[in-house]
Structure 1
Amino acid sequence: MAQHNETGKQGELEAVRYLQEKGYEIMTQNYRYQHAEIDLIAKKGKLLVFVEVKTRTNLSYGNPEEFVSYTKAKLVMKAAENYIFANDWLHDIRFDIVAVTVAGNELRINHIEDAFF
């Protein structure tokens, strides 16, 4: 498997751990709808959170969260709409980014709530 895939998997695992520590229940990982994918869908009380996880091993080209494009945000929203209707969700939702930086033995997580809508 390519190194960037391993880095992405590690980032998702760290994001899951982080969110669970913050009291979120992970409902689904890697939810797919047509050409869209949502990395994590989490729930906290009556709030459903759609999470895009971005992981980088260095910051030479910018912070991980800067790599969530407008196109990616639209795809996530499209998949979220499908998930909401398929699961008859009638409460609040939010779109977050969890940016993970793994450099050597150092791990940094930046959780951005309401990242896009």
Structure 2
Amino acid sequence: MAKIPYPGKPVRGSKSGAPIMALFDLLGRRWAMGVLWTLCENEPSTFRDLQEKCESISPAVLNQRIKELRQAQFIDRSEQGYVSTPLGRELYDQLVPLGAWAKKWAQKLPDETSVEK
């Protein structure tokens, strides 16, 4: 079974395992948020569909993230493919405004070539 960060246990960035830190640890894993985001916008999706939509993800990483996101109860498997759970959809709905904010933030940053090194 996949090992996910659990609230209340030490996680990356938090000895106490604060729930938000456990969530950030899980979502901070390579492709975790991308898989959830892609699935919420394109469900249901088969393994192959997800791999194609995530472009550069390897089959091994996708398989690991699917296991972790299923264990976290953010996605599940249906007859048609992988789908987000109500909990996963709720998380996605919380992330959408953060994504919009990140775009505003990115526009405020100076051009990368103009930043002093």
TM-score of the pair, normalised by structure 2: 0.29
Q: Which has the higher contact order (CA 8 A, sep 6+)?
A: 1
Rg comparison, structure with higher value: 2
TM-score of the pair, normalised by structure 1: 0.29
